[in-house]
Amino acid sequence: MTKDKELEDLFLAQKPHFDDSAEFMEKLTKRLEAVEFVKQYQERTLRRYKMAMVAVFVVGIISGGISTWWLLSTPANEPLFNFNVQTSFLVWLVQNSRLLAATGLSLLMTLGVCVVISNILEIMDMRQSMEEKRGWLVM
């Protein structure tokens, strides 16, 4: 509470002097141009994020569809790859190649969905903070 009172006293003690000089208007104009530049930069950044999100979404849908099509179009009893080696681990890997490929594909798509959701939330936070700053500048 005392800090609030101290701040209030500090602000009340300040008595700005406004001149009708061109220098004041020039400084004010430069500051307003700087604020406008920052607003435009933030809006461009948000547009870029949105376009990147759309591009990632489209690429993810296309690559997921192609991968799923490839996985389902190969014969079910034929392994996806073959090492021509009789090591027990590699034989197990060849025998379970379909299951491992399907699991890897679903994990990759889950990671992609989480990243997209995280980016959407970040964009929403950026927009909200921009609107709060814009409201502060208007007041």
- pTM to 2 decimal places: 0.50
Q: What is the mean predicted confidence (pLDDT) over 81-100?
A: 81
Distance CA 73, CA 116 (A): 28
Which tens digit of pLDDT belongs to each residue from 2-47?
666 777 777 777 776 666 677 777 888 888 888 888 888 888 888 8
Distance CA 50, CA 61 (A): 17
Full 3-state SS string of 4-17: HHHHHHHHHHCCCC
